[in-house]
Amino acid sequence: MPDGSNVAYPLKAILLIRDPFHSLISYQHFLSNHSVLLERSRAERTTFRGPLWEFIVDNQSLLWLDLATDWIEAPQDTLVVSYERLVENPGAQLARMLEFLGVTVSQRRWACVLRHAAGPFQNKKHPVVPDETVYDDSLRRLVWGRIRELDDMLVERGYQGLPLEKYAFYGEA
């Protein structure tokens, strides 16, 4: 774990990082009706094209990078957790987070958490997915540049790199 020499925040922090291609689509759905539930927040497919969408991708992917950079550089103790790894293996990632925070839970509570790892906030049936109609070549290059910048920073600072192979358009990157 990094040495925390740039201490600017006295408490432990968990930074959850998700593939920005998916995050931006979710954000656009949220903006359409201000709900995290897909049934209430479906954005029209046309909102994923044109100058406004390009602005959102540029602006929000930069904010994605800046937020992660700030937390990686500032706090004394930051645990970086990949959303994709959390979804893939919730038990292992949650155990890692609890250990980092120094929290112990009963076996009964732990079993309950793992039993309810799936729920209404896991919108697996998005009508819009990262593809060439949502992210043209220039947007893919822009976002992948920011992904690579963050991945390099994580590795340089002693953190595990991002699971790039799980990110959209990985084969093209």
Instruction: Of 149, 171, 131, 124, give the one whose Cα is nearest residue 72.
Output: 149
pLDDT at res. 1: 47
The answer to whether residue 4 sits within a structural domain is no
The answer to whether residue 95 sits within a structural domain is yes
The answer to whether residue 7 sits within a structural domain is no
The answer to whether residue 21 sits within a structural domain is yes
The pTM (predicted TM-score) of the whole model is 0.84
Dihedral angle of Cα 164, 167, 171, 173, to the nearest 10 degrees: -70
pLDDT at res. 39: 60
Question: Please, what is the end-to-end C-alpha distance for the chain in angstroms?
Answer: 28
pLDDT tens-digit readout, 41-50 = 577 788 889 9
Question: 10 Å Cβ neighbour count for 111?
Answer: 11
Q: Strand (E) positions, the chain?
A: 9-17, 75-82
Number of folded domains in the chain? 1
The answer to whether residue 143 sits within a structural domain is yes
Instruction: Of 147, 100, 135, 155, give the one whose Cα is nearest residue 25.
Output: 135
The answer to whether residue 6 sits within a structural domain is no
The answer to whether residue 5 sits within a structural domain is no
Domain that holds residue 162: 12-168
The answer to whether residue 3 sits within a structural domain is no
pLDDT at 2 over 60: no
pLDDT tens-digit readout, 70-126 = 999 876 789 999 999 999 999 999 999 999 999 998 999 999 988 888 765 555 666
